[in-house]
Amino acid sequence: MSLLKAPPPHSVFDAVMDDGAVIRLRRHGNPAGPRAILSHGNGLAINGYFPYWRLLLVEFDVVVFDFRNSGENPVDDGAHSYERFLKDLTAIYDAIDREFGEKPQLGIFHSMSSRANLKYALDGNRRLDGLIVFDPPMVPAEEHPLYERLLGEETILWRWAQSRPDSFADPAEQAAQFKKSRMLSKWVDGAYELMARSILRYDAAAHTWDLVCSGAREADIYKQNAGLNIWPQADEFPMPMLVIASDPDSNIPSSPAYACRALRDECGWAYECVEGTGHFLQIQEPEQCAAITRQFADEIGLI
């Protein structure tokens, strides 16, 4: 099996947040195309989603970034919270416009980064011409019939993240753990190893491979997911928005699948479901996800 690896970017810019944290922006793809900006889920890194975003490189000017304390970014001692992420997004979008040039752009986000960008848009920030959110882990108000189910999933993930090891002898150990998880079933060839390498950093002094985003930080975000409990109507967003969801009828567990279907039915969200997938649909069915992405970009006039 050949090594699956994201290519070197055309250009890199280290954006400095107002508290000194650094977010590394990397530009790939077609600089003449419309821009696609991508980020990742909790505890992960955007390079691990390369099986999906590599399919966008011909049409799009692709900018990828990791949230603070994740992926290629330096670890920072400051706050790690949705409140902090929302402040970071303004600095990130400002830096993209300034360093790479202003142009029409599509935001494409998964899970945690979806939640952050949904809240950012609802707060009145129109930095994107379109927004695609993959399987956002939405939790409604307590009186909603799905509340206990969705809250319970966040609680399970919170407890799991609190107890996960922060160091490994080799990325292959983390990849092997990923492969055992039913929730992570059916990733494309090489993706487990790619994600493991993308979320770990070698400590030469200790001779260990350490999580960039510690289990404690990951757990904090799972705990905060429920507290956001936003459940907005589709017309509350200041730009066209599409949710691409995992399959609630799949045998791969994914509570966000039920939330996304309910948001379609109750709130009028534009919705596409990728049959047979779980929460990591971009890595399970990258070609289908890329085709839906292109279709939405075409519908809103970006390509």
Question: Residue 257: what residue type?
Answer: A
| Euclidean distance between CA atoms 86 and 123, whole angstroms | 10
> pLDDT at residue 46 above 70?
yes
More confident residue, 141 or 24: 24
**Whole-structure pTM value:** 0.97
Q: E strand or H helix at 285, and its extent?
A: none
Strand duo 241-245 + 270-273: pairing: parallel
Q: State the helix-helix crossing angle for 171-180 and 191-199, rounded to 10 degrees.
A: 130
For residue 277, which of 186, 214, 213 has the smallest C-alpha distance? 186
Give all strands of the β-sheet with 208-211 in edge-to-edge order.
Answer: 167-168, 208-211, 200-203
Q: Any idea where the domains of the chain sit in the sequence?
A: 11-299
Least confident of 9-13, 150-154, 255-259: 150-154
pLDDT given at position 30: 98
Task: Give tens-digit pLDDT for 144-188.
Answer: 999 999 888 888 888 989 999 999 999 999 999 999 999 999 999
> pLDDT at residue 7 above 90?
yes
The pLDDT of 251-269, averaged and rounded, is 95
Q: Which fold has domain 11-299?
A: Rossmann fold (3.40.50)
Instruction: Calculate the average pLDDT of the chain.
Output: 96
For residue 282, which of 39, 113, 64, 53 has the smallest C-alpha distance? 53
CB 111 within 8 A of CB 256: yes
Q: How confident is the model at residue 124 (pLDDT cuts 50, 70, 90)?
A: very high
> pLDDT at residue 38 above 60?
yes
109's tokens: 């986000």
Q: How confident is the model at residue 1 (pLDDT cuts 50, 70, 90)?
A: low
Based on its alpha-carbon atoms, the radius of gyration of the chain, rounded to whole angstroms, reads 18
The DSSP symbol for 235 reads: G
pLDDT given at position 151: 87
> pLDDT at residue 2 above 80?
no
> pLDDT at residue 68 above 80?
yes
Which whole-number Å values give the CA distances from 29 to 67, 150, 194, 212, 257, in the listed order?
Answer: 21, 37, 20, 26, 30
| Euclidean distance between CA atoms 127 and 35, whole angstroms | 12
More confident residue, 227 or 6: 6
CB 60 within 8 A of CB 36: yes
pLDDT given at position 12: 98
13's tokens: 């810019």
